[in-house]
Structure 1
Amino acid sequence: MRTISQISDELEKLYSELDIVQSMSEESVRLTFNAECKGKYISLLNEEIDSLENELEEVERYHGRKRNFVRTADLPFLCW
């Protein structure tokens, strides 16, 4: 499982790449990123960002939680 800082760093890179791509021309995006078209590449970046944001949310939710391998009433069994 990746750490919060690793996911955050990757998100920052994707956000900066998205900003760069949005300011580039269609031809530049195709040549630089070997993409079919600018719109598809932007939607691909957005999907990756959404996926990482969901992963970050999940990691933050369980960060610092004690892992319990025996199911009890006060500490439910967690698997991931």
Structure 2
Amino acid sequence: MQLGTRWTSGEEPPAAVPDVLRAQIRAVDRALPGDDLGQPRPRWTLTFLERRPIAELETGVIVEVDATGAVTVRHDDEDEFA
């Protein structure tokens, strides 16, 4: 696994984030509820597994490129092998 970078949800993803993931990351960011109490926004972590990019939000949302090259969005508690 290659460690990538971290950034705060709602901010522009760093240049290290592949273009293929950006639209779905933005869609997830837009779907997050606002926080009227001023809590910090969750942070994304970009890593690479088998040379495929994976962006994981602290809430458990994962945006990744699967083995076929498709971008998928899932939650880390979903059974990957179902």
Compute the TM-score of the two structures, normalised by the length of structure 1.
0.23
Return the index of the structure with the highest Cα Rg. 1
Q: Per residue, is there more strand in 1 or in 2?
A: 2
Compute the TM-score of the two structures, normalised by the length of structure 2.
0.22
Q: Per residue, is there more helix in 1 or in 2?
A: 1
